[in-house]
Amino acid sequence: MDWSFIGEHVPDYLGGAAVTLRFGLYGVACSLLLGLVCCLLRYFRVPVLRRIAGGYIELARNTPLLVQLFFLYAGLPRVGVRLSAEACAVIGLTFLGGAYMAEAFRSGLEAVDKSQREAGECIGLTRAQNIRYVLLPQALATAAPALFANVIFLIKETSMFSVLAMMDLMNVADTLRTSGGRTVEVLFMLIVAYLIILLPVSLIATWVERRLRYAGFGDQHTV
């Protein structure tokens, strides 16, 4: 193990980690929003839109992110639509992640007893108020483990951004490997970099799940 090589290229990995984390978080945030919207459209059986949302979920979950990125970056220009590599990265990750987040939200909502929604309606809550104050708090508590698992999954999927010539962690590692020939050192630094990014997310997920469990969320006594 050449520690001098590792020390020399730490700044390169810091730059790659910043790119990975930045666009990964953009994609995760957009995925959560898209997933929630799709989930609500299906849960409340909104005409037409729920079928569109269902079709999108099946398409996104059954095609690899690599194929989706190639379509955005190399396919769309054929029909006159050109997007930057950064835009393709965020759109691609959102397209994939939104489907998984939608299913996580759906499992949480379906775990909430129907009597909770009916109770909210009985005390005069509007549909929006019922969703915000009654259904979502309980659904999020149930769906929290799946949502955090999806966050970790999506951040790991950012390794696909290297096909867009973005200087993310994977691209930095591949460049150093081919130019310097230090495969062991390069892969060691890559593993450490992903651990530094993902381990805090995993620890936060564990802490949140424990807090929710101790607080009694998901016991379905909100209303």
pTM score of the predicted model: 0.85
Residue 107 · residue 143 · CB < 8 Å: yes
Instruction: Provide the residue ranges of all domains of the chain, joining segments of one domain with +.
Output: 3-215
CATH number for the segment(s) 3-215: 1.10.3720.10
User: Per-residue pLDDT tens for 14-56?
Assistant: 998 998 999 999 999 999 999 999 998 888 888 899 999 999 9
User: Per-residue pLDDT tens for 132-157?
Assistant: 878 888 888 888 889 999 999 999 99
User: Long-range contacts of range 23-27, CB-CB < 8 Å, 24 or more positions apart?
Assistant: 23/86, 23/89, 23/90, 23/93, 23/158, 23/161, 23/166, 23/168, 24/93, 24/154, 24/155, 24/158, 26/90, 26/93, 27/89, 27/90, 27/92, 27/93, 27/94, 27/97, 27/154, 27/158
* Helix or strand (DSSP H, E) at 55: helix 49-61
